[in-house]
Structure 1
């Protein structure tokens, strides 16, 4: 199931969501959103105990493709999981404006 940025931010502010950045370690080292938890997608099966089953788990990646894979896996494991439709670029747009978005876009172009 999808989630949009405004709903995610509301759930997170109310302490009802846990954000999980599922990017690889190298991607995470390059840039991050400053909140949430980093669990690379390939480590997710071994780190389920770090997730709060009482919260909505929201998976994020730069766009949404890997986040959707992680959401599906977590749902099969019994979590209430959703993926962010706009990805981390959408969060950067919503929270920090054009400078952060331009910076992130440049980083993506370099990869």
Structure 2
């Protein structure tokens, strides 16, 4: 599986594999992204992001039909380790995918105060 990915990996691919929080949120506002939280159900139930779909990493192979291939898919976990694995798996299965560089913890930190209010207003227009 990884052999195919690694053989195509180059400098441009390195830049395309990541997405920063501001860019992600712009795509969320435009409904141009599917945001996948790859944490286990227990983690997701403890706290979650309202616009994220929870598909735990270990369930990803059996749930590909729940992911919209016409959109960019962004994977996320608290940091980025599981998100990177999920991204590679999705790429190998024909999806356009990136991972969130700052992870869910970075996103939660970013979405405080005015940033949270602005996003809420945009999503509920």
Offset at 1:94?
A: 1.2
Q: Which residue of 1 aligns with 2:56?
A: 40
**Residue in structure 1 matching 2:90, options 74, 77, 84:** 74
> 1:15: how far off?
0.9
Which structure has the larger Rg? 2
> Partner of 1:65 in structure 2?
81
Q: What is the count of residue pairs matched by the alignment?
A: 97
Report how far residue 92 of structure 1 moved: 0.7
SS of aligned partner of 1:96: coil
Gaps of at least 5 residues in structure 2 are 1-16, 114-125
Alignment partners' CA distance in 1, 2:49 and 2:84: 19
Match of 1:30 among 8, 31, 46: 46
TM-score by length of 1: 0.84
Counterpart of 1:5 in structure 2 is 21
* Counterpart Cα distance in 1 of 2:49 and 2:78: 11
- RMSD over aligned Cα atoms: 0.9
The runs of 4+ residues in structure 1 deviating greater than 4 Å are none
Tell me, which stretches of 5 or more residues in structure 1 are unaligned? 98-111
Once the 2 structures are TM-superposed, how far is the Cα of residue 29 of structure 1 from its aligned partner?
1.3
